Amino acid sequence: MNAPSTWSLLVLTLPTENATARMRFWRALKAKGCAVLRDGIYLLPHAEERERMLRDLAIAIADSGGTAHLLRAPSIDATQEAEFRTLFDRSEDHAEFMRALKDARKTVSGQSAAELTKLLRRLRKDFEAIVAIDYFPGDASTRAEAAWQDFIGLVDTVLSPGEPHSAERPIRSLSVSDYQGRTWVTRQHMWVDRVASAWLIRRFIDRDARFIWLTSPSACPANALGFDFDGAAFTHVGERVTFEVLVASFGLEKDAALLRLGEMVHALDVGGAPVPEAIGFEAVMAGARKRVANDDQLLDEMGRVLDSLYTHFASAAKSRDAGKRS
């Protein structure tokens, strides 16, 4: 039997004169997954963060001419507990999401890299929105999570064959002086993490680097330094993508502009906090991949874009530092 829960209840009357405010408050309640006990009474499982949200909403409703009272109470018995939990059943939401994944799978092979990335971002947003309000996850959430991970794997296979799996190992501190004039290899038809990593290597680690673009990771020469594939010298570690691993490995983490670039690469490669410049970079990258003949030309072209972004981020960091000192 489930332990009794504590519930936050918002008892409200929305302003009658302001239709825009009523719609805004209704959308806010729906977005947080509030259950409706009856007209004007909304319920959420108690948590400090959720109660703060309801308290702020209550204040906003009152300021707009409505009334709102926030209460907290436990379930009185197992029957009420079960009844309240049923109000938060997200099984149909998960089922609808899985149907969307099924439809999306039919379109994957015919889409460009930019289209696939956009599709993945949209579906990830939908999935995370359901998870955020699935307060009592069960079998339906488990099935949806498995289907989502399978879909991510499918897109990775199409978008970037050989995409590395994250390794769990320490990131060693390395000296740039030991990595000069080397041969570096990665998978051909570069996408964001690989092109940014190659740019980082040439710009900050090994200015005389020679690159080989592999048709398969198994073709990696024995004396070469691989990056961004399983078994490579430099690849995903924990939550970090290859670009971030290279930054950490060679002691470049004091460079605020590189850290900001790392956030952008991370968001585009595996998802994460949005970076405003990411969408533009992704569009340029997708266009360049269609237009240039090979990865050498792609690195030259996107290298100039990354040079400009680096300068932009460095200037922004310098301005922030100056503001702090003044």
Say whether 240 sits in a helix, a strand or coil.
strand
The DSSP code sequence of 51-70 is HHHHHHHHHHHHHTT-EEEE
Alpha helices in the chain (DSSP H): 19-31, 48-63, 78-86, 91-105, 113-132, 139-159, 192-200, 242-249, 256-270, 278-291, 295-325
Helices 278-291 and 256-270, axial angle in degrees (round to 10): 70
> Are 144 and 127 within 8 A, CB to CB?
yes
Greatest CA separation for the chain: 74
Q: 147-183 b/e with 16+ CB inside 10 Å = b? A: bbeebbebbbeebbebbbeeeeeebeebeeeebeeee
Query: pLDDT value at position 162?
Result: 63
SS (HEC) of 246-280: HHHHCCCCCCHHHHHHHHHHHHHHHCCCCCCCHHH
Say whether 214 sits in a helix, a strand or coil.
strand
| CATH number of this structure's domain 6-86 | 3.30.70.240
pLDDT in tens, the chain (326 residues): 456 789 999 999 988 777 888 899 999 999 999 999 998 999 999 999 999 999 999 999 999 889 999 999 999 999 999 999 999 999 999 999 999 999 998 888 778 877 888 899 899 999 999 999 999 998 899 889 888 887 887 787 676 666 677 777 889 999 999 999 999 999 988 999 999 999 999 999 999 999 999 988 888 898 899 999 888 899 999 999 999 999 999 999 999 999 999 999 998 888 878 889 998 998 899 889 888 989 999 999 999 999 999 999 999 988 887 777 66
Say whether 18 sits in a helix, a strand or coil.
coil
Nearest alpha carbon to residue 193 among 222, 223, 220, 159 = 159
- Where in the sequence of the chain do the CATH 3.30.70.240 domains occur? 6-86
- Give phi and psi for 271, each to the nearest 5: 90, 165
Query: pLDDT value at position 160?
Result: 64
Strand ordering across the sheet containing 35-38: 35-38, 41-45, 6-13, 67-74
